[in-house]
Amino acid sequence: MRVREEVAGPSTPSAGGAEGGPLRGEQREQLRSGGEKAGARQLVFGGRALVPLDLGEALAPVAALWAGIGRASTRTWLAGRVRGEVGRLRGLVDPQLAQQVLAERLERRLRDQAPRSVGDLVAWLLKRGLAQRPGCWSTLCDEGIRLDTRGACESCQVLVGDRRGLRRAVADQVLEERLSGQLALPQQELGREVERRLQEAVREEMARKAAARERAVAEQAGREASYEIKRQVFAQAQWERAAAPCADCGVPEASGLCLPCTERRGIEAAVRDAVVFALVLRFDPDDAPGTRALWQDCERATRAVLEERLVQLREQGVNEASLSWSGRRLMEELRDRRQQAALVRLGQQEEAEQAARMAAAALRRKQLQPGSAASRDAVRAAEEAARGRVAQRWLGELIAELRTLVSLGPAPAQGTDWACALPELAAQRLPGDDRAEQAVGSTRERVSA
């Protein structure tokens, strides 16, 4: 059964202690007007505004003033500004010390200005508390104090020393002019003359710095304009390269070479290199015609392998673009295998083994624990590296000799008058100097041994 509001129950005592009490509307009026009830309402519906938990260390000096910010939206906005300053300080000092640095700044500026005179904490933080005020050019300076060490700023001390030196120089000049008779001033006017000349010198220095800044701004503007011109020229050249047709097949807008032609060129280069690595240990340096014939035979055999693989791929339904890609990969793999085989053969020669032994001995002398597994692995790596260096050097010399023989031109035709041709051929000088020729000859003798 419901109880009407007009009937006072035992569980609803009146304000004066009698039975019955005010209705809800009357109770709200009493809570607004009564001092004791008003205090109870403030305790229930709102507490003291505290600083954000993540900014407790940074805002500790102004924690007592933070409660004076009436609106929650203002506190939220201001906390965002404080977080932004803390984030900026994390980029200048140790991130763990950023809040401590900001707290020291606020405490220092509150100490310079009595806390009671801070009427509006929001305005004070924005205009005075949060702003960093460097006394010099350093980004770590804040009112002559370094943010990272919290010590005196050396750059500011240098500026102070410069100002003191300037004052001393001006005072010495005035005194010298007075003693020499060039300046006729009484003793009491010397200080004013020093201050006047010092102000003039400072103004001249400020004018020079302003002119230097203007020149720097003009130079920067000139550099930016030059960079913009270069960017435009580069963009135009890039567009022209993209619009250029293929040099081989003439396809428009192929950046000078289309993808199929690029793959075909890659195949040709891989075939030539594969032939070189196949013949580098087989050719006879004294038989140029035989070397050229061997080159042609090896090239035909290599192209036959390529064509056989391409025929298999065509039978499987692979398109032409994929055929070119697969052919290039096949030739590159064949080239790499032949190169590795040549390096292995060259690395087995006595000079390569001797270089490996010397590298291993030199490394063992430097090791503190020669018997450990890591030391043995390092020695083996040093041996392989030394052996590989010798093999690479020999391989380069032999390749240069092979290419020279192949590029001498076609073999003489049958029926040539050798009595006339041989003296002319003997008088021709091969490319390279004598030292290179001797090195190649000695390499051939060592490899053939």
Q: Which of 24-28, 43-47, 72-76, 212-216 has the lowest mean pLDDT?
A: 43-47
Average of per-residue pLDDT across 249-254: 84
Q: Residue 180 has what pLDDT?
A: 80
Is residue 186 very low, low, confident or very high in pLDDT (cuts 50, 70, 90)?
Answer: confident
Q: Residue 135 has what pLDDT?
A: 82
Q: Residue 424 has what pLDDT?
A: 63
Q: Residue 178 has what pLDDT?
A: 77
Q: Which of 28-32, 351-355, 394-398 has the lowest mean pLDDT?
A: 28-32
Is residue 193 very low, low, confident or very high in pLDDT (cuts 50, 70, 90)?
Answer: confident
What digits encode the pLDDT tens for the residues 350-369? 988 999 999 999 998 888 88
Q: Residue 441 has what pLDDT?
A: 55
**Percent of the chain whose predicted confidence (pLDDT) is above 90:** 23
3-class secondary structure for the chain? CCCCCCCCCCCCCCCCCCCCCCCHHHHHHHHHHCHHHHHHHHHHHCCCCCCCHHHCCCCHHHHHHHCCCCCHHHHHHHHHHHHHHHHHHHCCCCHHHHHHHHHHHHHHHHHHCCHHHCCCHHHHHHHHHCCCCCCCCCCCEECCEECCCCCECHHHHHHHHHHHHHHHHHHHHHHHHHHHCCCCCCHHHHHHHHHHHHHHHHHHHHHHHHHHHHHHHHHHHHHHHHHHHHHHHHHHHHHHHHHCCCCCCCCCCCCCCCHHHHHHHHHHHHHHHHHHHHHCCCCCCCCHHHHHHHHHHHHHHHHHHHHHHHHHHHHCCCCHHHHHHHHHHHHHHHHHHHHHHHHHHHHCCHHHHHHHHHHHHHHHHHCCCCCCHHHHHHHHHHHHHHHHHHHHHHHHHHHHHHHHHHCCCCCCCCCCCHHHHHHHHHHCCCCCCHHHHHHHHHHHHHHHC
Q: Residue 282 has what pLDDT?
A: 87
Is 256 in contact with 244 (CB distance < 8 Å)?
yes
pLDDT at 438 over 90: no
Q: Residue 71 has what pLDDT?
A: 87
pLDDT at 83 over 90: yes
pLDDT at 36 over 80: no
Q: Residue 44 has what pLDDT?
A: 35
Average of per-residue pLDDT across 187-195: 81
What digits encode the pLDDT tens for the residues 109-156? 888 876 567 778 888 888 888 988 888 878 888 888 888 888 888 888
Q: Residue 420 has what pLDDT?
A: 63
Average of per-residue pLDDT across 420-432: 59
C-alpha–C-alpha distance, residues 261 and 259, integer Å? 5
Q: Which of 219-228, 350-359, 432-441 has the lowest mean pLDDT?
A: 432-441
Average of per-residue pLDDT across 410-433: 55
pLDDT at 11 over 60: no
User: Which range in 148-162, 380-394, 408-422 is most confidently predicted, on average pLDDT?
Assistant: 380-394
Mean pLDDT score of the chain:
79
Q: Which of 153-157, 302-306, 412-416 has the lowest mean pLDDT?
A: 412-416
pLDDT at 9 over 60: no
C-alpha–C-alpha distance, residues 168 and 181, integer Å? 20
